[in-house]
Amino acid sequence: MLDPWGSSNPVEDEDYERIKREFGIEDINESLRQKLLKNRFFRRKIIFGHRDLGLVFKAIEDNQPWAVMSGIKPSGPYHLGTSTTALEIVEFQKMGGKVYYGVADIESWEDNGIPYDEAEPNAIDNVADILAFGLDPSPDKTYIWRQSKEPIVKDICFKVSRLVTQNMLNAIYGEKTFGLYLAALIQVGDIVLPQVREGPQPTVVPVGIDQDPHIRLTRDLTRRYYKKFFLPGATYHYLLAGIDGSDKMAKRNPNSSFTFNETLDSIEKKVKGALTGGRKNKKEQQELGGEPQKCMIYKILMYHFEENDDVLADEFERCVKGDLLCGEHKAQCVEKVLKFIKNHQEKKEKLIDKARELLKID
């Protein structure tokens, strides 16, 4: 069972095909991928599946509005895992979608025990991050809200809740505290909000596969309550494992990731300690070749820090042939990561006031 709040039970590589079959997630076929080559997450096959993405393309072809919705739980700073979704949102905005970005402070309270007022600094910090990633905050292109301050999402939660039973929630999420069930219904409000505000339109929600329970719940309740609305769609990306070789990036394991707020020295140390696909020693590496598909250095670059596909392809091939050694590759990765982070932190600092304004926080 997928647990959207879980810090354990990671999704293994062999689980993805089973999950797609079990829950009806469609593959990103080559025909669809060709339409999305400008988006590196599709081009590099990081996004592997979808629900109703074809409705977005029809809206684009017909010059009709469509939305991309996602959000962030303000329980801490952005790290490599959470930034994947943020970067996908920016890519969808470039395709013409209006961004709806919810700050999940109600979920942060229920899951992490962080009061709304204490979540505000994280919320400001998180929104400044996505602005630094390139999100255009113009009112006609973006709407940002906090769950605790947005009456629409609470109203939707109450309206659809009459269709929800305990058995239904247990089947989707397993045994959880009732507060997390309520947070899930608030997320239904988040996802349906674009159509309540702007009228029926296709909506795509970029998520990791672990968040699919929220998508399934929302689609079911939209089908039954908002019968004139489009069923919210989704795209699914592969989850990034911990860079230290652990199964999952987790706050309890600080070496499994790095945040976009960390010092450059701290980030450099973590990248240098990242798991690679190298062999036991140089001789064996040159004879047998490396295993880049297991290498977190390669994945860090592929997901976030290398814009040039040809460079990635060359590094993959040289690794497999044993021509690219781990020390050399790590040094290249450290240089690219630190350059990006330094530039990002400088841009972000200038956007804090804008983030505060968008969130209506004095």
Say what the pLDDT of residue 136 is. 98
pTM comes to 0.93
- Enumerate domains of the chain plus CATH numbers: 15-239 (3.40.50.620), 254-349 (1.10.240.10)
- At residue 7, the pLDDT reads 56
Q: Looking at residue 13, what is its pLDDT?
A: 74
What residues of the chain score a pLDDT lower than 50?
none
**What is the 3 state secondary structure string of the chain?**
CCCCCCCCCCCCCCHHHHHHHHHCCEECCHHHHHCCCCCHHHHCCCEEEEECHHHHHHHHHCCCCCEEEEEECCCCCCEHHHHHHHHHHHHHHHCCCEEEEEECHHHHHHHHCCCHHHHHHHHHHHHHHHHHCCCCCCCCCEEEEEHHHCHHHHHHHHHHHCCCCHHHHHHHHCCCCHHHHHHHHHHHHHHHHHHHHHCCCCEEEEEEHHHHHHHHHHHHHHHHHCCCCCCCEEEEECCCCCCCCCCCCECCEHHHCCECCCCHHHHHHHHHCCCCCCCCCHHHHHHHCCCHHHCHHHHHHHHHHCCCHHHHHHHHHHHHHCCCCHHHHHHHHHHHHHHHHHHHHHHHHCCHHHHHHHHCCC
pLDDT at 10: 63
